[in-house]
Amino acid sequence: MTKKTIQYIISIVIIGLLIFGFYNPYRRKNEIKKHLRYTVAVVYKESSSLKNGEHYHYKFHYNGNEYEAYNSKNRNYTVIVGDWYVVEFSYKDPSIAVIHYEWPVPHNLAPFPDTGWAKVPDHIILKNRRIEY
C-alpha cells in the first residue's frame, strides 16, 4: 500500500467513528421516543473509570426480564445506592434506557406493574419535572 492509500483509509475510519459518535446518542433518544415506556429502577452500585467517568448502575424489570444499564452521575441530585427512580426505556429494546434522578420513588409505592406504564402515574412523580430532549 502506498502512503496516500493508508492516509485515505485512516481518514475514512476517523470520519466513520465521528459519524457514529454523533449518530448513536441521537438513535438512542429517538428509539426511546418512538417506543416509550416507564417503570421504576433501583440504583445498585456506583462505579468510575478514567475512560467513562463516574456512573450509577441500575436495574429494572420489564415483561418478566431484568435489564441493567448505567448513566453518568449527575451532580445536581443526591443519589443513594438502593434508592428507586423512574426510568424511561424503549419497549422494543429495553436495554436502551435513561434513569431520571429528578424523579425518586418512595419504597412504599411498590409493587409496580411488570409491563411498566405508557405515562408515569401522577402519584409516582414527587418532583414534577418535564423530560426534555
Rounded to an integer, the average pLDDT of 45-71 is: 87
Q: Is the pLDDT of residue 99 over 70?
A: yes
Over residues 61-78, the pLDDT tens digits come to 999 999 998 888 766 778
What are 91's strand-pairing partners? none
How crowded is residue 96: how many other Cβ atoms within 10 Å of its Cβ?
19
pLDDT, position 15: 62
Mean pLDDT of 22-43: 75
pLDDT at position 55 over 80 = yes
Q: How confident is the model at residue 110 (pLDDT cuts 50, 70, 90)?
A: confident
SS (H, E, C) the chain: CCHHHHHHHHHHHHHHHHHHHHHHHHHHHHHHHHCEEEEEEEEEEEEEECCCEEEEEEEEEECCEEEEEEEECCCCCCCCCCCEEEEEEECCCCCCEEEEEEEEECHHHCCCCCCCECCCCCCCCCCCCCCCC
Distance, CA of 45 to CA of 67 (rounded, Å): 14
Q: Where are the domains of the chain?
A: 35-109
pTM here?
Answer: 0.71
* Cα→Cα distances 26→30, 87, 88, 101, 133, Å: 6, 18, 15, 21, 10
Calpha distance 40→62 (Å, rounded): 10
